[in-house]
């Protein structure tokens, strides 16, 4: 059942959102009309967030509005693309003005920041779920892929790992945190920062890239599978926040950092020959990329090292999967 989607979308989402020159026709017709710059390709990504699967009822509407755009921009970043347009499909159990205002606020803030225009939308009634499709540009042939890693390439990550997973565990009373850390980590869970600038700066430098949505090791395996290579990772090099290391034992901290999801950092590989250029380009990057290991020729084998010794991840029944999709399909 439709709510009269134009009224709803126009009432809550079209005011004060960025208007771009490359959009000839935005919301209001059967489709949008927009132009891709010359010598560029279009990168298209999409992500759905369903209540009870990807977020819980307590998630603030503003956080959800931010996050559903952020996770899509994170996928664009992993492709090296510059964000341009989004469309929004939203299913609501009822029309709740306060919720819609909060959701639209979160969505508008991140769209403003990245100059992303909302060019289409649809609303229906049903269990709460939001889907965003984002479109971005890359110079022709320059998109980053998962499939280009070669033995000897260096493995890098941006940001810190495990923070969102620990915030979720604390919210679900599986971990205790002091209030200050709980606030900081919840910010990371609710308001992830897609590494948009870093992704674009890696064009022509990184041999492969992915964004970490499902956990560092799980997403590393996606690169290894697509590139038919293996990896040696020094777990001591994985960047951890103070909140994580001060709240957990070393083993727990590593387990969260390596396996919990929702970090939305980038994981990528850099050939030895590009390393100097990479260091120059990222010298002042706020996401501080760190080298955590190297690609090997053993297809899909991950060797973990801790204090230079072979190391295995402990069996950790922390239940990280609570808000992950039941079955992930191709691109995530
Ligand atoms: Mg992804």
Q: What is the pLDDT of residues 209-241, one digit of tens each?
A: 999 999 999 999 999 999 999 999 999 999 999
> Does residue 147 lie within any of the structural domains?
no
Q: How many domains does the chain have?
A: 2
In the chain, the percentage of residues whose pLDDT exceeds 90 is: 81
178 and 35 fall within a common domain: no
Q: pLDDT tens digits for 100-134?
A: 999 999 999 999 999 999 999 889 999 999 999 99
Among candidate residues 105, 139, 173, the one where a domain is terminated: 139
User: Where in the sequence is the domain holding 268, given as residue range(s)?
Assistant: 154-319
Q: Are residues 196 and 311 in the same domain?
A: yes
If you measure from the C-alpha of residue 58 to the centroid of ligand 1, how many angstroms do you get, rounded to a whole number?
25
135 and 158 both lie in a single domain: no
CA 234 to centroid of ligand 1, rounded, Å? 23
- CA 213 to ligand 1 centroid distance, Å: 6
Q: Ligand 1 centroid to 28 CA: how many Å?
A: 30
* CATH code: domain of residue 117: 3.30.1330.10
Tell how far the Cα of 291 is from the centroid of ligand 1, in angstroms: 20
Q: What is the pTM of this model?
A: 0.93
46 is in an annotated binding site: yes
Whether 145 maps to a domain, the answer reads no
47 annotated among ligand-binding-site residues? yes
The reply, when asked if residue 101 is annotated as ligand binding, is no
- Is 201 annotated in a binding site? The answer is no
- Domain-embedded: residue 327: no
User: Per the domain annotation, does 149 fall within a domain?
Assistant: no
End-to-end CA distance of the chain: 28
| CATH number for 210 | 3.90.650.10
Which of 107, 139, 171 corresponds to the end of one domain?
139
**CB 48: neighbour CB atoms within 10 A?**
16
SS (H, E, C) the chain: CECCHHHHHHHHHCCCCCCCCCEEECECECCCEECCCCCEEEEEEEEEEEECCCECCCCCHHHHHHHHHHHHHHHHHHCCCEEEEEEEEEEECCCCHHHHHHHHHHHHHHHHHCCCEEEEEEEEECCCEEEEEEEEEEECCCCCCCCCCCCCCEEEECCCCCHHHHHHHHHCCCCCCCHHHHHHHHHHHHCCCCCHHHHHHCCCCCCEEEEECCCHHHHHHHHHHHHCCEEEEEHHHCCCCHHHHHHCCHHHHHHHHHHCCCCCEEEEEECHHHHHHHHHHCCCCCCCCEEEEEEECCCCCEEEEECCEEECCCCCCCCHHHHCCCCCCCCC
Distance from C-alpha of 263 to C-alpha of 192, rounded to nearest angstrom: 7
Query: Are 130 and 215 in a shared domain?
Result: no
User: Which residue, among 267, 247, 45, has the nearest Cα to 166 in the 3D structure?
Assistant: 247
Q: Compute, in angstroms, the gap from residue 266 CA to the centroid of ligand 1.
A: 9
Q: Are residues 43 and 179 in the same domain?
A: no
**235 and 304 belong to one structural domain:** yes
pLDDT in tens, 129-186: 999 999 999 999 999 999 999 999 999 999 999 999 999 999 988 899 999 999 999 9
Q: Give the integer Cα–Cα distance in Å for 229 and 298.
A: 6
Is 135 labeled as ligand-binding? Answer: no
The pLDDT confidence band at residue 11, using thresholds 50, 70 and 90, is: confident
Cα(1) to ligand 1 centroid in Å equals 31
> What value, to the nearest 5°, has the Cα angle with vertex 49 and ends 208 and 161?
45
The residues whose Cβ lies within 5 A of ligand 1, an ion, are 75, 211, 332
- Of the candidates 28, 26, 25, the residue with the CA atom closest to the CA atom of residue 7: 28
**Do 106 and 188 share a structural domain?**
no
In a domain, 329, yes or no: no
Q: Mark whether 170 and 311 lie in a shared domain.
A: yes
Q: Do 184 and 305 share a structural domain?
A: yes
Whole-number Å distance, alpha carbon 288 to ligand 1 midpoint, is 20
Q: How far is CA 264 from the centre of its chain?
A: 3
Do 158 and 304 belong together in one domain?
A: yes
pLDDT at 319 over 60: no
Query: 75 labelled as ligand-binding?
Result: yes
pLDDT digits (tens, 9 = 90+) for 23-78: 999 988 889 999 999 999 999 999 999 999 899 989 999 999 999 999 999 999 99
Q: Is 29 part of any known ligand binding site?
A: no
Question: Does residue 109 sit in the same domain as residue 169?
Answer: no
* Helix 216-227 × helix 250-259 angle, to 10°: 50
Is 228 known to sit in a ligand binding site? no
CA dihedral 239, 212, 295, 199 (to 10 degrees): -90
For residue 159, report the distance from its CA to the centre of ligand 1, in Å.
16
Tell whether 325 is covered by a domain. no
Distance 74 CA to ligand 1 centre (A): 7
Ligand 1 centroid from CA 8, angstroms = 30
Q: Do the domain assignments include residue 330?
A: no
The reply to whether 122 sits in an annotated binding site is yes
- Ligand 1 centre to CA of 308 (Å) is 30
In a domain, 30, yes or no: yes
Q: Can you give the C-alpha Rg of the chain in angstroms?
A: 20
**39 and 170 part of one domain:** no
Last residue of a domain, one of 139, 173, 203: 139
106 is known to lie in a ligand binding site: no
């Amino acid at each position: 059942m439709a709510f009269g989607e134009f009224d709803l979308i126009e009432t809550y989402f079209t005011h004060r959102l960025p208007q771009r020159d490359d959009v000839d026709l935005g919301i209001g017709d059967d489709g949008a009309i927009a132009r891709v710059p010359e010598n560029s390709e279009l990168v298209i990504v999409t992500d759905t967030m369903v209540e009870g699967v990807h977020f819980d009822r307590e998630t603030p509407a503003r956080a959800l509005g931010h996050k559903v755009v952020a996770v899509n921009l994170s996928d664009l970043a992993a492709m090296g693309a510059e964000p341009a347009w989004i469309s929004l499909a939203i299913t609501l159990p009822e029309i709740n003005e306060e919720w819609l205002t909060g959701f639209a606020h979160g969505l508008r803030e991140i769209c403003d920041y990245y100059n992303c225009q909302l060019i289409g939308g649809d609303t229906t009634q049903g269990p709460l779920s939001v889907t965003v499709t984002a479109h971005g540009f890359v110079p022709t042939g320059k998109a980053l892929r998962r499939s280009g890693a070669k033995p000897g390439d260096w493995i890098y990550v941006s940001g810190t790992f495990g923070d969102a997973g620990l915030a979720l565990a604390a919210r679900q009373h599986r971990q205790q945190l002091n209030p200050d850390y709980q606030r900081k980590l919840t910010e990371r869970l609710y308001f992830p920062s897609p590494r948009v600038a870093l992704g674009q700066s890696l064009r022509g430098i990184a041999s492969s890239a992915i964004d970490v949505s499902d956990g560092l090791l799980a997403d590393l395996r996606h690169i290894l599978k697509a590139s038919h290579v293996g990896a040696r990772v020094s777990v001591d090099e994985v960047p951890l926040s103070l909140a994580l290391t001060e709240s957990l034992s070393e083993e727990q901290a590593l387990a969260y950092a390596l396996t919990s999801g929702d970090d939305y950092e980038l994981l990528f590989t850099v050939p030895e020959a590009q390393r100097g250029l990479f260091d120059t380009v990222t010298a002042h990057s706020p996401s501080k990329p760190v080298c955590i290991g190297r690609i090997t020729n053993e297809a899909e084998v991950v060797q973990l090292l801790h204090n230079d010794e072979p190391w295995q991840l402990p069996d950790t029944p922390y239940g990280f999967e609570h808000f992950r999709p039941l079955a992930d399909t191709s691109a995530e």
